[in-house]
Every structure is written in structure tokens, then in C-alpha cells.
Amino acid sequence: MLSIIIVLLVNLLIETSVSLTVKVPGDPVVSHVGSTMILPCWISPPESAEALEIRWYRHNQFSNPVLLYNHGKIQDVQEESHRNRSSLTLRSDQSGGLKDGDVSLRLEKLRVQDDGSFRCYVSGENSYSSEEVVLKITALGSSPVLSPKPLDDGRVNISCGSSGWYPEPSITWTSDEGRTLHPGGTSHSRGADKMFSVHSWTAVSLSDAQLVSCSVSLRSGELKEGRLNIQGIVSSGPWKALFLTFLICALLGSVGFILYKYREKLTGKKPVKEICDEETMERLSKEETNTEEPKKEPDCEEGTQQKLRKEVVEDVNIEELRKHAVEITINREIIHPDLMVTKDCKNMRDQPEYHHIGEEFPFQLCAFGAQSFSSGRHYWEVELVQMNTSPKNFWIIGVMKDGNSLLKNRSALTPSAGFWFLCSDGPYGFYTNTDSSIRFSLTPRPERLGVLLDYDDGQLSFYNVTENKHLLTISSRFSGSVVPLFNPGIRSLITILDCPKPVEPAESSQPLLSNNSDSGLTNEVKSEGLI
């Protein structure tokens, strides 16, 4: 009996002395259907995983894994639906890979079925450890299609439909004054591809609203919107209205084609003022949303207007953005004592002797621009890579309410407190500080980031300058004046660049298509910037 206890104790001692622990990010990883995602998982403290067993699996599918690495190589036992889509990868550019205990999973061509948790299991001779990473899949559906049907009582029955969403979207109706209109009925359905479709109708009279908007949105804040002006429809007969609807659709279709053709010249438009007013939301447009150089909301007074959202991967014309370039310098008066700023007020980093305690991002290491803005559009660029190194892992770039004091901790950094930013937090990926934070990964990391502040429209957009790509837009409502915000993280430099400013004037607000067509019907495509 005693000997059994001794054996057990000895076993226990051996096990604890060589125990290993894996770590994963605390928050879910969010990604779009079709994209590639990294599910980070690593051994802490670092230890080589080359001789260990690494098993990624779902739910209780231990013996049917998404990926199995054993005896020094990936075993050919992958679960059917993940075959050829999964591999081991680095969780960041700085990672030493398997040798340093990085066992992160790369999953390509994401499907709706990948939504949910993945278990990262690592086993050595005497001990094992496992943790779960949650993957949230989203899919942005088609632009809502609105169609009116005049009713006998003088009202119009407008129906709105959109498909290709995940998870289930919500649909809201609003009038031109931003009032919510009550839907007469709403139905959701799910296709064989597991995507959701939504359909809703509402009956309105001219006294309720002239311009009716239907917006389909995900909980993350990503949305698509369509609008319809009912003025011409109520006054004319039903057949005329139907014919005109058809005409508008045809026109929009051809305009869409033109836009697609000229997309590198175009920048789009974020139309949803009403919704932005309600709450902060952001749009992530790595895969399918369009790039947007916002302009002042043209007020939709007359004519039927519908928004056209482009589904294609959209490039931006950085030259267009640079028309709004402003020179930004660091305000040396109020920098954190652990930061250094060069004489030209363009470069900043932490003091060499600065010692960062803890694992959390050093949120307090902030510097602000000397320029403040309370209207208009302003653009600046930041360099995130120094000669012969890989792009920085840790930084914050955004804007802040002028006069805010130095930052303390993350919980205090909210839009309502006057902070709006994108944070690159090493292995934890990128996230925004908005109320429903969007977290995502970008590989490779951007080397040069463009920032467009559109004060009047309440938008802060980020661009990958090297590749002319729109990354995401944060929408909010700014009040008072705001100043650029920078945090260089630790151990490397951030440089504010001087953008070459194009010579042409900065106005580009001519709509591509505008008022014309008889009987007061008009359609407008809010994707201006075509030159």
C-alpha cells in the first residue's frame, strides 16, 4: 500500500517538474468567410515543440483532428473538411516557430462551418496541456434590394431583401429624419450553404417619410444599406412605379459595372449617418467591403436614391487621400516621460532604459499631434518599419479629444472618453477600441499606415499605403477638437511621414451620377471620386 502511494507521489513529482502549459488569446478571433486566419497558441514559458505532439481538434473529435503533428511531421490524418486548408504557422513575424513553442494553426478559405471553438492540445512524454480558441466567422451579404408596391390607400408597400449573411443579421427601417419605421413583417431563412437571407416589408405614406432606408447589419456593426425615395412612386400609378423601379435597377446595374471597371480610381462612401449616430461601429473591409473616401453626406431630398455597395476587393487611390494631407508633428510639451521625440517632432520611441512591467500593452506611452482638428478631412501617414527590420508589432494610431490627459489603462480608453484608435498588440493581433471591438489579424503586417480623419462624417479610416488598401473605418461622433494620437509600443520607432501633397484642389465631391430623368426620379451612386 505504502509503496503504491510512493510510486504515485514520485509520478506526480516527475509530472509537475516537466509540466507544460499552452496559452491562447483570451478573446475570440474574428474573420470573414473565404479569408485566412491564424489561431494563435503557444507554450509558455517557451519550450521547443518539435518533439511534442501537437493536435488541433474540434469539440470531441480528438481522433479526427483538424491537424496532427507528431514524430516531427504533420500526419496525414486530417479531418476531411479541413484537408489542404490547415497548417502550422507563426503567430507573429517575431515568433521563432516550433522551436520556440509556437504551435499556431493557420486555416485558409474559411467557411461558415468553421465558426466555433478549436482546441489546441500539446503533449510531451509526461504531461499535456490544452486550451480552446474561439473563431467567429462573419459574412457580409448582398446590398439590400428595395422594391416598392403602391397600395390602394395611397401608401407604398416597400420590401427589402438581402442574402449571404452570417451570423443572422438584423434589419431596420428608418425614415429620412432617422426615425425608426415599424416593419410590417420580417422573415429570416437559411440556405443550404448555411448563410442567412433576410426579407422585410413596411407600408409607408409620404407623411411618414420621403426617403426610406433599409439597413441589414451584423452585431459587429458591419452593415449594408439601401434607400428608396417614394415621392415619385406615390404620385404616379402603380405600373409607372414598377417600370421606374425596373429602370433604376437596370441603371444601377450598369453603373455598378462601370464602377467595377474603374474601381482603382474610385473611392466609396459610407452612407449611414443615422446609424452612426446611434452607436459607434466599425467596418472591416479586408475581404469584401469597399474602400471609402468619405465626403459630406449629400442630403437626399429628391428622387429615388439607392446605395450601391461594391462587393469586390477594393483598392484605394492613395493620391486621392493625399489631397487631404496635413503635416503632423508631435507635441513635445505633453509627452510621456518614458518617450523620446526627435527634434523634428516626427519620430518617437520609448527611452532605451524604459522597463516595461507586465504583459499588457503599454497604453500609457502616448504622444499627441500638435495639430488639432474640429472640421473637415485630414490625412496623414505613419511609417511602421525601419530599415532592414520587420514591421512593428506594437503600436496605437488614432485620434484623441484635444485636452485629454495622459492615458492610464485600457478600460479608460473608450470613444465616450474621447479616444478612437487601432491597436496592434503583437500576438493578440489588431483591434479597435470601439465598444464592440473588432479583432483581426493582418499578415504580413502593414509597413505604412494611412489615416484619414473625416471629422464632419465622424469617420476615422486606416489604409495600407504600400498596397493601396483600405483596412477599416471606425465611425463615431467627434466633439470639440481632436488631435492625432500615437503610441510606439516598446523597443522601436514610429515615424510620421511627410506626404507629398498633390497640386490639384482637394474637392472631389461631384457625384458620379446625379439628378436627371423625368418624373423626378433620380438615382445616385454614392461612390464619388471618379476623375
Question: Which residues in this chain contact ligand NAG in the complex, by CB under 6 A?
Answer: 83-84, 149, 151, 157, 159, 184, 201, 203, 286, 408-409, 411-412, 442, 444, 446-448, 464, 466-467, 469, 514-516
- Kindly state the DSSP code that residue 193 receives in the 8-state scheme: T
Q: State which residue, 19 or 515, has the beta carbon closest to ligand NAG.
A: 515
List the beta strands (DSSP E) in 369-509. Answer: 377-383, 394-401, 419-425, 430-432, 439-440, 448-454, 459-464, 469-475, 482-487, 494-496
- Kindly state the DSSP code that residue 112 receives in the 8-state scheme: G
State how far the alpha carbon of 53 is from the alpha carbons of 45, 59, 88, in Å: 17, 18, 13
- Kindly state the DSSP code that residue 406 receives in the 8-state scheme: -
For the CB of residue 465, give the shortest distance to ligand NAG in the complex, in Å: 7
Q: State which residue, 256 or 446, has the beta carbon closest to ligand NAG.
A: 446
Strand-pair category, 469-475 with 67-70: unpaired
d(CA 31, CA 107): 11
Q: State which residue, 341 or 472, has the beta carbon closest to ligand NAG.
A: 472
For the CB of residue 304, give the shortest distance to ligand NAG in the complex, in Å: 15
d(CA 293, CA 314): 12
**What is the DSSP track for 292-328?**
B---------SS--------S--B--HHHHHTTB---
For the CB of residue 121, give the shortest distance to ligand NAG in the complex, in Å: 23
Per the structure block, which three cell numbers stand in for 87? Answer: 497548417
Per the structure block, which three cell numbers stand in for 175? Answer: 425614415
d(CA 165, CA 139): 5
For the CB of residue 336, give the shortest distance to ligand NAG in the complex, in Å: 16
Residue of 255, 252, 314 lying closest to 289 (CA atoms): 314
Per the structure block, which three cell numbers stand in for 271? Answer: 452612407
Q: State which residue, 467 or 498, has the beta carbon closest to ligand NAG.
A: 467
Residue of 291, 277, 305 lying closest to 172 (CA atoms): 277
Q: State which residue, 373 or 432, has the beta carbon closest to ligand NAG.
A: 432
How many whole angstroms from its chain centre is CA 353?
Answer: 35
CB atoms within 10 A of CB 442: 15
Q: State which residue, 164 or 450, has the beta carbon closest to ligand NAG.
A: 450
For the CB of residue 286, give the shortest distance to ligand NAG in the complex, in Å: 6
Q: State which residue, 276 or 407, has the beta carbon closest to ligand NAG.
A: 407
- Kindly state the DSSP code that residue 99 receives in the 8-state scheme: G
List the beta strands (DSSP E) in 64-210. Answer: 67-70, 73-74, 86-88, 105-107, 116-123, 128-138, 145-150, 156-165, 170-174, 180-181, 185-190, 196-204
For the CB of residue 442, give the shortest distance to ligand NAG in the complex, in Å: 5
For the CB of residue 373, give the shortest distance to ligand NAG in the complex, in Å: 26
For the CB of residue 21, give the shortest distance to ligand NAG in the complex, in Å: 24
Per the structure block, which three cell numbers stand in for 214? Answer: 433599409
Q: Bridge-partner residues for 302, per DSSP?
A: none
Q: State which residue, 119 or 470, has the beta carbon closest to ligand NAG.
A: 470
Q: State which residue, 117 or 409, has the beta carbon closest to ligand NAG.
A: 409
For the CB of residue 401, give the shortest distance to ligand NAG in the complex, in Å: 15
Q: State which residue, 126 or 254, has the beta carbon closest to ligand NAG.
A: 254
Q: State which residue, 60 or 84, has the beta carbon closest to ligand NAG.
A: 84
For the CB of residue 272, give the shortest distance to ligand NAG in the complex, in Å: 23
Question: CB of 361 within 8 A of CB of 423?
Answer: yes
d(CA 139, CA 355): 42
For the CB of residue 364, give the shortest distance to ligand NAG in the complex, in Å: 11
